[in-house]
Every structure is written in C-alpha cells, then in structure tokens.
C-alpha cells in the first residue's frame, strides 16, 4: 500500500505522517478489504446464480429482480439504526456481529424452494448486513486524515472489484463443477461459499481491529498523538452534529441523491452484466464468469489511479463527475452493441472503469460535512438513500426486459441518470463540498 504524501505538509513531519498512516493501513486494511470482498460477493452472487436458480425453481425475470431487490429493502430499513449502534457499541464488536449473522443468513439460501422463501431470505440477508459498508467508512474517518482518504477508500473498494475479478470465475467454476455434488445444485454451493467464510472473518475482526486510535497497542504514544492531531486538524471546520444536524447541512441530501443515481448504475452492472454477456456470447457459466471479471479488473485499476489523483488534486466532485460520464458512455455503448460480444465487452470495460471507481471517490465527500455521531448516522443515511437505487435498478431492468425482450432501453435510461449525477456534481455542489482537501 504505497501512500505518498500530498498537500501542504513537507519535510520530516510529512514523512512521519505518511509512515504512521502506512503502518495503520497495513494493520487495518488487509482484513477490512477481505471482509468487504465477501460483502460485495454476497451482493453479486445472486447474479451469478441467476440462470441455474431460475431454471431449477422456475422464477421469472420479475421474480428474480424482486428477490434481488429484497436484499436492499432489508438493508435500508436497518442501516441507520445499525450504524448508530456501531457508534455506541464500538466498531470491533458490531462489525463482527454483522459478518457472522449475514454469513449464516447467506448459507441458509440453500433451502429456498419458493418465491416467498427467496424474498424472505434475501430480506434477512440485507437486514443482517445492514450498516457494514457505512460502518467501515465511518471507521476509516477515525483512523485516517482527510488527505489520505481517497487512496484508503480506494483500497477498500478495490475489494469490491476483486469480488468481480475473482468471484466471477470462481462462481462459474462452482456452478459448473459442483452442480449435483453432495445432492446440492451449483447455486446452493455458491451461497455456502459466500456465507461460511464470513463466520471465520467475524472472529478475526474481534481479535484484529481496535475501536479507537487510543486503543491501539501496536502504535507508540507519539504515533497516536500525531495521527489524532492530524485528524483533528482536518476536522477543525466541521461541526460535531447530531443525525438531524447532519441532515440539515447544505449539500447533504444533494450528495445522497447523487449516490442514489450512481447506485442505479452500479447495480445495473452487478445484476445484469452477466446476463448481457450470456445473451451476447451464448457461452457456458465458466466462460461467462471469466468475461464478467473484465469490467471489474478495469474498475480496480481505475479506482486506484483515480484515488491517488484525487488525493493529489483535492478536487473530489470533479473526479466523481468524470467517472459518471465514463459510466454513461459505457451504458450507451452496451445498449448499442448488446448482441455483439467484442464491442459489448469494450463497453462494459468502460462502464466498469467509470461506475466501479466512482463509488470510493464519492465517499470522500460526506466527511467534508459531518463528524462524530452525525458522521456515523449521516454516512449510513446517505448510503441508505443511495441504496434505493439497488431497488429501482434490478426491478426496472427486469421489467423492461420482460416487456420488450431487450435490456437496451433500460441501459440508455441508466446512462442518462449517470449524466444527471455528473451535472449535479459539477454545477450544484455547495462550497463546503467543493473545498479542496489540499488546503486543509
């Protein structure tokens, strides 16, 4: 994890800050990244299981889309309460609880037989996982100064790209290679592979993470003081708000709406990318899984590069807007070439480079507005409002495909929404969100 220093710091102090941040990153981020990889895989494994699950259980595209969306319903209902509980209980115990409970719920997916089983368990998985991503995002604000958060957040979200890079081929192999083994279908093995490792990871969280800088025995007193002072310095112009105070901050609801639009694009890729590739290529599950990894590989490269560039410039909204435009172009081209596999893969690569990388860069924005309990609840609320995009996108695309026999009109519509997000970021952000991080 190379963490070059940016901003006004220079000389020995800058080197010391960078070295302490690097030490913290190596301690916290590998486990956080693995946990987030499984969290993201838990979200997208339903798309890999789609063909077998629908074939075995006779679900329509609308039933599949509704079931996929029920995860988000459970997630958004319990997300803000979960993050407020994390603030009170402490990240270590609460994140471990989240991982263990969602791992059990995911493994229980092997027992679904009817649409209602599908809906209830997807809702339960979302409820159990609620608060994980915003909880981690809030946790990172307690450990890393603002001028490093673009790269640190990108490291976290690289795990989501790896979930597609690694998860797609592995899912294809599980679906094809384990189908029928032990009397279980491939899609049942897929849910076991996504759920059971989370029990082990939850136990590791209890032993490896610390709630606060002051609790870290692996940092010297000087390192603790330096890190705490730099975070306090960056937060000096941001009030410690309640949740309601956070909501009233200028720009808070605006960036929540932007996140909603970005999530429509993200879920459009996650849930329907494999379907587009399957339709255009006619390939088997393993080859579809390998091709599905390509947009996430491009997204992983893009988010690391953009994370460093956004830290260097401090101009966060402009970078998110540029990525949203790239995603829009990818959606338009995917709709145009939805029956031709080579240009479709080029379009999906562009789409992945834009929409996958836009999410971590976006998450540098909320910390410009709120700290404390307002940050814990506010980040969760932004994520909750944004996650409604995960309800809209799968159902909308499924409905359009059932109605027209094609996903193309929905892809064009999602592309337009990405352009709206870019316009809001460029022209409607308040001064507090446009403030350059390098000036802190």
Q: What is the pLDDT of residues 34-79, one digit of tens each?
A: 998 888 777 778 877 877 888 888 887 778 878 877 887 888 788 8
Spell out the long-range contacts of 180-185 with Cβ–Cβ below 8 A and sequence spacing 24 or more.
184/110, 185/52, 185/56
Taking phi first (over 0 means left), then psi (-120 to 50 degrees means alpha), and beta for anything else, what does residue 181 get?
A: beta
Give the count of domains, the chain.
2
* Alpha carbon distance 391, 266 (integer Å): 12
| Rounded Cα distance, 164 and 42, in Å | 11
pLDDT of 249 strictly over 90: no
Residues 148 and 288 in one domain: no
Q: Is the model's pLDDT at 251 over the cut of 50?
A: yes
414 vs 405 pLDDT, higher one: 414
Last residue of a domain, one of 232, 255, 282: 232
pLDDT (mean) for 399-418? 82
If asked whether residues 213 and 247 sit together in one domain, one would say no
Residue listed under structure tokens 């994980």? 132
Over residues 425-436, the mean pLDDT reads: 74
> Given a cut of 70, is residue 332 above it in pLDDT?
yes
Is residue 6 in some structural domain?
A: no
* Co-location of 143 and 224 in the same domain: yes
Is pLDDT larger for residue 337 or for residue 51?
A: 337
pLDDT digits (tens, 9 = 90+) for 186-240: 888 999 988 999 999 999 999 999 998 988 899 988 889 899 888 877 665 555 5
Q: Computed from CA positions of residues 212, 149, 37, 413, in that sequence, does the dihedral angle turn out positive or negative? A: positive
Task: Please report the pLDDT score of residue 7 as a whole number.
Answer: 44
Query: Predicted confidence band at 314 (pLDDT cuts at 50, 70, 90)?
Result: confident
Contact 245, 381 (CB under 8 A): no
Whether residue 119 is predicted with pLDDT greater than 70 in this model: the reply is yes
The answer to whether residue 412 scores a pLDDT higher than 50 is yes
Mean pLDDT (whole number) for 395-402: 75
pLDDT given for residue 281 in this prediction:
79
pLDDT band at 9; cut points 50, 70, 90 = very low
Confidence of residue 10 (pLDDT cuts 50, 70, 90): very low
Residue 383 belongs to a domain with what CATH number? 1.20.1250.20
User: Quick check: 394 pLDDT over 80?
Assistant: no
Give the per-residue pLDDT at 374: 62
* Most distant CA pair in the chain, distance: 65
Boundary residue ending a domain (232, 255, 271): 232
pLDDT range class, residue 259, cuts 50, 70, 90: very high
Average pLDDT over residues 181-190: 87
Q: Are residues 62 and 209 in the same domain?
A: yes
Domain-terminating residue out of 232, 255, 283: 232
Question: Would you tell me how many other CB atoms lie within 10 Å of the CB of residue 173?
Answer: 15
Q: Which residues pair with 240 in a beta bridge?
A: 371
Q: Are 153 and 364 in contact (CB under 8 A)?
A: yes
Same domain (yes/no): 311, 187: no
| pLDDT at residue 132 is higher than 60 | yes
Same-domain pairing of 94 and 195: yes
Say yes or no to pLDDT of 184 above 80: yes
Are both 326 and 225 inside the same structural domain?
A: no
Is residue 152 over pLDDT 80? yes
How far apart CA 280 and CA 312 sit, in angstroms, is 40
Same domain, 53 and 124: yes
For residue 322, name the pLDDT band (cuts at 50, 70, 90): very high
224 and 266 in one domain? no
pLDDT band at 348 (very low <50, low <70, confident <90, very high): very high
| Confidence at 185, pLDDT banded by 50, 70, 90 | confident
Mean pLDDT of 337-347: 87
Residue 135 CB coordination number (10 Å): 24
Shared domain for 219 and 273, answered yes or no, is no
Band (12; pLDDT cuts 50, 70, 90) = very low
Residue 3 inside a domain? The answer is no
pLDDT value of position 29: 92
Kindly state the average pLDDT of the residues 284-299: 79
pLDDT attached to residue 8: 42
Asked if the structure places residue 106 within a domain, the reply is yes
18-27, 393-402, 417-426: least confident range: 393-402
Residues 6+ apart with CB under 8 A from 305: none
Let me know if residue 176 belongs to a domain: yes
Residues 72 and 154 in one domain: yes
User: In this structure, is residue 141 part of a structural domain?
Assistant: yes
Q: Please tell me whether residues 170 and 257 are part of one structural domain.
A: no
Asked if the structure places residue 9 within a domain, the reply is no
Q: What is the mean pLDDT of residues 369-390?
A: 73
Q: Is the pLDDT of residue 14 over 50?
A: no
pLDDT band at residue 326, thresholds of 50, 70 and 90? very high
Whole-number pLDDT of residue 396: 75
Q: Residue 248's domain spans which residues? A: 242-439
Q: Is residue 166 part of a domain?
A: yes
Comparison of pLDDT for 439 and 199, the residue scoring more: 199
The mean of the pLDDT values for the chain is 82
Structural domain includes residue 289: yes
């Amino acid at each position: 994890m190379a963490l070059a220093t940016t901003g006004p710091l220079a000389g020995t102090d800058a080197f010391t800050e960078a070295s302490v941040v690097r030490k913290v990153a190596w301690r916290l981020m590998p486990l956080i990244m693995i946990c987030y990889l499984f969290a993201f895989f838990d979200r997208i494994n339903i798309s890999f299981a789609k063909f077998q699950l629908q074939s075995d259980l006779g679900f329509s595209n609308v039933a599949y889309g509704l079931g996929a969306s029920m995860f988000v319903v459970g997630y958004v209902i319990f997300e803000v309460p979960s993050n407020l509980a994390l603030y009170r209980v402490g990240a270590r115990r609460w994140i471990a609880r989240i991982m263990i409970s969602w791992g059990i719920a995911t493994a229980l997916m092997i027992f679904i037989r009817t649409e209602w089983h599908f809906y209830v368990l997807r809702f339960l998985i979302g409820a159990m996982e609620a608060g994980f991503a915003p909880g981690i995002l809030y946790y990172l604000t307690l450990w890393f100064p603002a001028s490093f958060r673009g790269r640190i957040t990108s490291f976290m979200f690289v795990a989501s790209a790896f979930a597609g890079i690694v998860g797609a081929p592995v899912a294809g192999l599980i679906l094809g290679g384990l189908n029928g083994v032990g009397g279980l279908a491939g899609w049942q093995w897929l849910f076991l592979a996504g759920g059971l490792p989370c029990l082990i990871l939850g136990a590791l969280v209890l032993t490896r993470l610390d709630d606060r800088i002051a609790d870290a025995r692996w940092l010297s007193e000087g390192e603790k003081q330096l890190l705490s002072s730099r975070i306090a310095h960056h937060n000096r112009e941001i009030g410690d708000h309640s949740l309601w105070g956070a909501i009233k901050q200028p720009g808070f609801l605006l960036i929540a709406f932007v996140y909603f639009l970005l999530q429509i694009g993200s879920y459009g890729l996650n849930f329907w990318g494999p379907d587009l590739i399957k339709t255009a290529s006619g390939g088997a599950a393993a080859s579809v899984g390998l091709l599905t990894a390509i947009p996430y590989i491009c997204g992983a490269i893009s988010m690391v590069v953009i994370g460093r560039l956004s830290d260097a410039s401090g101009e966060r909204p402009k970078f998110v807007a540029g990525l949203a435009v790239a995603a829009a172009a990818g959606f338009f081209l995917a709709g145009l070439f939805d029956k031709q596999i080579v240009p479709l893969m080029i379009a999906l690569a562009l789409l992945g480079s834009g929409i996958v990388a836009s999410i971590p860069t976006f998450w540098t924005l909320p910390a410009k507005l709120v700290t404390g309990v307002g940050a814990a609840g506010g980040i969760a609320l932004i994520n909750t409002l944004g996650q409604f995009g995960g309800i809209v996108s799968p159902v909308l695309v499924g409905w359009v495909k059932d109605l027209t026999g094609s996903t193309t009109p929905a892809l064009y519509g999602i592309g337009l929404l990405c352009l709206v997000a870019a316009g809001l970021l460029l022209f409607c952000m308040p001064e507090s969100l446009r403030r350059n991080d390098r000036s802190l």
